[in-house]
Amino acid sequence: MRRLANHVLRTLARQVIQRYHPEVIGVTGSYGKTSTKEAIAAVLSSAYVVRQSARSYNNEFGVPFTILDVRPGRSGWQSVLRGLWFGLKYLVRASQPYPTVLVLEMGADRPGDIKTLTELTHINVAVLTGVGPTHLQRFSTVEAVLAEKSLLVTAVGERGWVALNGDDPRARSLSEVTPCRIISYGFDSGVAVRAVDAASSREESTGEWGLLVKIEFNQQQFTVFVPGVTGRHSAYAALAAVAVGAAYHLDVVEMVEGLRRYQPPPGRMRVLPGAFSTTLLDDSYNSSPDTCVAAVEALREFPAEHRRWAVLGDMAELGTAAEPAHRAIGQVVVDEQIDELVVIGQYGQASVAEALAQGLHREHTHTFSKPEETAEFLREHVQPGDVLLIKGSQAARMEKVTKALLADPSKAAELLVRQYGHWLAT
């Protein structure tokens, strides 16, 4: 039944695309897909009618759901039935309004996923956020991950655009496999859309934390405020959005205003007020070696009146690379002079062992097996002025730690990931 439902939804999605001919922007990569997708939609919405993937709807069901306008909040079969209804309505009623631009997040958990998704629609613009060691249990090597992600780039027609993270050597290498126009972004001096600087900043009028990014493009320099997030790596979503906006000939004013409307997705380096006058850097959606290193570096850079805590759950789906990857995080914690290391899960002890070997005192390391007991410990030991990074893979359920430490837990549903459906019962 699942296979039949997917076949019907895919057929309807393809027919809707053929009927309405929207511009289609595909976003893939090992990290940052959802933030990038949301930033692109925010920028383009100043000039186009845009629909983007809801939450992280990026698989064989999620992409058709987006094309057919199925929103989150329903059970699986309710979503399928709604997809059938909307698909038929779009096809039967020719006057039905449809977005002019679709921004589709495209994930790959296993070989063949990207090919399956690109067969649903044409791709006008491909965006590659970067390639790193994720899903290695199924892909075995990073090179296999790169080969999978490259299928989105090669799916773009010759008149299309490819936006690449120019700071990522693997992403940059794909400029050689496509005849399309390339627009690169990043911090490197050789990219087209370049971040000259990115630093945490607090708006005086609202008190909201965000990232102030100074950008150079086409001999112009301008500054954008990306609300609600921190960390140098959080600038990449804004840079990718400017790159895509430039491909669609938007001017600087439109792009800056669009990014002011950007709402960062929950669990992606969100700056949240914590209990006991603490500050939470909530990066609980997921984790990988590259993003965990970037998050710890961001913790070091974020202004703190007292201690900095790295509260880290396991990084999943790394296969044989799991233990060395977690040991490497222990090294980074020491290099970045983080005051307290808290680990949760099977592999956290490897991070602790390396941190101890590099000179962190044992009394500043804390090991737990569950997020609930971690949260209880932190509520008893944090102090005013502390800053806590909370990060881990989905299976670690680190949002439970964040929720327990929120200054106002009643806002969890709007601020945190996995606050719906079966997640709340597990």
pLDDT of residue 250: 97
The answer, yes or no, to whether residue 8 has pLDDT greater than 60, is yes
What's the average model confidence in pLDDT over 172-187?
Answer: 93
The lowest-confidence range among 75-84, 176-185, 319-328 is 75-84
With a CB cutoff of 8 Å and minimum separation 6, the contacts of 380 are none
What's the average model confidence in pLDDT over 328-353?
Answer: 98
Q: What homologous superfamily does CATH list for 2-260? A: Mur-like, catalytic domain (3.40.1190.10)
Give the Cα separation of 96 and 91 in Å (integer). Answer: 8
pLDDT of residue 76: 66
Tokens in use for 216?
């150079």
Q: Any alpha helices (H) in 269-370, and if so which ranges?
A: 289-301, 322-335, 348-357
pLDDT of residue 72: 63
Residue pair 239/219 in contact (Cβ under 8 Å)? The answer is no
Give the Cα separation of 239 and 187 in Å (integer). Answer: 9
Q: How far is CA 173 from CA 130, 217, 284, in A?
A: 11, 22, 30
Task: Give 377's pLDDT tier (boundaries 50, 70, 90).
Answer: very high
pLDDT of residue 94: 63
At 170, give phi and psi (nearest 5°): -70, -45
What is the per-residue pLDDT across 149-169, written as a single tens digit (0 to 9) for each?
999 999 998 899 999 999 999
Give the Cα separation of 53 and 69 in Å (integer). Answer: 9
Q: Of the candidates 138, 190, 148, which has an alpha carbon nearest to the alpha carbon of residue 168? A: 190
What is the per-residue pLDDT across 88-106, written as a single tens digit (0 to 9) for each?
778 887 667 999 999 999 9
The answer, yes or no, to whether residue 51 has pLDDT greater than 70, is yes
The answer, yes or no, to whether residue 383 has pLDDT greater than 60, is yes
Domain 270-425 class, CATH top level: alpha beta
The CB density around residue 301, as the number of other CB atoms within 10 Å, is 14
* Average pLDDT value over all residues in the chain: 93
> What residue ranges of the chain are covered by domains with CATH 3.90.190.20?
270-425
Share of the chain above pLDDT 70, in %: 98
pTM of the model: 0.93
> What residue ranges of the chain are covered by domains with CATH 3.40.1190.10?
2-260
Residue pair 240/129 in contact (Cβ under 8 Å)? The answer is yes
Q: Which of 65-74, 219-228, 258-267, 348-357 has the highest mean pLDDT?
A: 348-357
pLDDT of residue 55: 79
